[in-house]
Amino acid sequence: MQQHSNQINMEQRGAITLFDIRGDLTSFSEPFLSEAYQNANEQGAAKILLKIEKEAYINSGGIAALIQILAQSKRNNQNIGITGVSDHFKKIFSMVGITRFADIHESVENALEVMS
């Protein structure tokens, strides 16, 4: 059944704070993403990379939760990247406009290179 929680491991990779997000992205993800973001923000993160599991189920509730993180990061002048998403969700993220506020990267390595 649907996971109602996420595990988000934060890792510093040079100037970039990597969120390794385990689990599906749904409306239940909002408090987990928000808590991780607040922690990173308090630690002065300037660049954040969201790594989503390739097989993660993402629905409109998860999209709304992601957009709330993008909104906060814009207010705080932070650069956000996303990696790990399937081709289908790259298309979905483009449709809803997420790609106007966050670049989608093919891999963590590619993202670290581009965002550094």
Partner 1 sequence: MSDKTIEVNLVNQLGYERIAMACSASFARMMGLPPERIEDLKTMVSEAAINAMEHGNKGRPDARVTVSLDCRDNTINVTVMDEGDGIKEFPPKPDIEKIIEDLESPIGFGLFLISQLADQVEFNQVTDAGHVVKMAIKMNS
- The region of 8-16, 40-48, 93-101, 107-115 touching partner 1 under the rule CB under 8 A is 93-101
How many residues sit in the footprint of partner 1 (CB under 8 A)? 27
CB 16 within 8 A of CB 32: no
- CA dist 41 and 62 (Å) reads 21
CA distance 9 to 69: 16
User: By CB under 8 A, which span of 7-15, 43-51, 85-93, 108-116 interacts with partner 1?
Assistant: 85-93
Place of tokens 């491991």: 9
Residues 24-63 that bind partner 1 (CB under 8 A): 26-28, 57, 59-61, 63
Among 38, 54, 74, 113, binds partner 1 (CB under 8 A): 74
Contact partners, residue 37, CB within 8 Å, separation at least 6 = 48, 69, 72, 73
| 69 counts as binding partner 1 under rule CB under 8 A | no
Task: Compute the least distance from the CB of residue 82 to partner 1, in Å.
Answer: 14
User: Among the residues of 11-107, which ranges form H helices?
Assistant: 30-42, 60-75, 87-96
- Nearest distance from C-beta of residue 99 to partner 1, angstroms: 10
Max intra-chain CA distance, the chain: 38
Interface with partner 1 (CB under 8 A): 1-2, 4, 26-28, 57, 59-61, 63-64, 67-68, 70-71, 74, 86-88, 92, 95-98, 100-101
